Amino acid sequence: MFRKFLTVAALLVVLTLGMAASASAQHYHGGHGHGGHSHGGYPTYHNTSHYDYHPGSFQQHGNHFHYTPGHYDLHQTGHYHW
């Protein structure tokens, strides 16, 4: 029974590492832009919000592991231009 558990655990680790390698550093940046024109003295907001991908992973919990699926996190960022 324990040998079967180790085989399944090893397979899951290999699959997870393969998915993580192929999905690492994936970012989706929403379209944004600004022209080189005068804003009439008023600031304009430059939205740099984006999604970051976090691949699935295993976390040890006592004598077993929990799997967290891969997911995208939204990072809402931006700044004003004068």
- Residue 39, φ and ψ in degrees, nearest 5: -100, 10
Pairing of strands 27-29, 50-54: antiparallel
Q: What is the pLDDT of residues 21-67, one digit of tens each?
A: 444 445 555 544 444 455 567 889 999 999 999 999 999 999 999 99
> Which pLDDT score, from 0 to 100, does residue 82 have?
82
Name every residue whose Cβ is closer than 8 Å to that of residue 47 and which is 6 or more positions away in sequence: 30, 32, 78
Mean pLDDT for the stretch of residues 15-24: 52
